[in-house]
Structure 1
Amino acid sequence: MDGQELQKIARDYTAALPGTDQEHRFAPDWELHKVGGKVFMLMTDMPGRPVVILKADPDDATALRERYADISPGYHMNKRHWITVEGGNTIDDKLVKELVTDSYRLVVGRLPKSRQPVDPHNYNHHA
């Protein structure tokens, strides 16, 4: 999967998640995806490489970086809590959707209950 395809899958998938919105910030090449006003996914081009940046549980983030050559610490983000996903042969659409859902659920879980569009403990959009 190339980086453009990676971003398209992530963007299209995110559009179907309850309570999300998208905006462009910082510079025209940053795309932010939010739930309840909090960012759960960013997209940009690292020098010539389209990437998706997602929130991840620190233990999961470490395991993902060890398992997948195309996952690295979060670009311009807290390296413990964010991962960067690049297009590559270790990444497929199922994994992208799982990672987006996990990031979404982590952020929803930190919102006040009254602002949560779904129950983060039971929500499994990619099933």
Structure 2
Amino acid sequence: MDNIQAKHYLLAKMATSEYFPFGPQVSVFKVKDKMFATLALGKGNEKGTEGKMAGHYCLNLKCDPDEAVILRDIFTAVIPGYHMNKAQWNTVILDGSIPQGEIERMIDNSYQLVVSKMSKKDQQSLC
């Protein structure tokens, strides 16, 4: 999955909007004003990432803390969330090593985690 496919998949989620609160290089995706993903191009100088993000687009996705650790063990392109709560967010490096279906599943889970914390009224408005 590349950055364009990821962006289209993210924006296809119900009530999702794209914002740029951190400048034009970082897309923030929200469902009803609650962030569930970011997408940005890695520069390679990100502290604590050993240069893994260099030249690759990266997704920050919300994740169940137990699953977050498991995904990091399975995929070398999944690291603790850069600039995020590392227990509840993963950074997924779009370097081609993770199957598209798995990335879509991670996006779906991030979206659902955020929606599940919304009020019943907000959840029902998504149906």
Same fold, judged at TM 0.5 (above): yes
**Greater RCO (CA < 8 Å, at least 6 residues apart):** 1
Match of 1:32 in 2: 28
Q: Does 1:83 align with 2:79?
A: no
User: What is the TM-score when the length of structure 1 is the normalising length?
Assistant: 0.84
Tell me how far apart the structure 2 counterparts of residues 102 and 32 of structure 1 sit (CA, whole Å). 16
| C-alpha distance after superposition, 1:36-90 (max 9, x if no partner) | 1100000112213310110000000000000101000001000000000112343
- Number of matched residues? 114
CA contact (8 A) 1:36 1:111 kept: no
Q: 2:78 aligns with which of 71, 74, 83?
A: 71
CA contact (8 A) 1:9 1:96 kept: no
Q: 1:14 aligns with which of 10, 20, 29?
A: 10
The two structures, once aligned, show a CA RMSD in angstroms of 1.3
Tell me how far apart the structure 1 counterparts of residues 103 and 4 of structure 2 sit (CA, whole Å). 11
User: What is the TM-score when the length of structure 2 is the normalising length?
Assistant: 0.84
Which runs of 5 or more residues in structure 2 are unaligned? 44-54
CA contact (8 A) 1:19 1:35 kept: yes
**Helix, strand or coil: the match of 2:20?**
strand
Q: Does 1:109 align with 2:109?
A: no
CA contact (8 A) 1:65 1:72 kept: yes
CA contact (8 A) 2:68 2:87 kept: yes
| C-alpha distance after superposition, 1:76-120 (max 9, x if no partner) | 0000000001123431210111000000000000111111114xx
Which runs of 5 or more residues in structure 1 are unaligned? 119-127
Tell me how far apart the structure 2 counterparts of residues 8 and 78 of structure 1 sit (CA, whole Å). 26
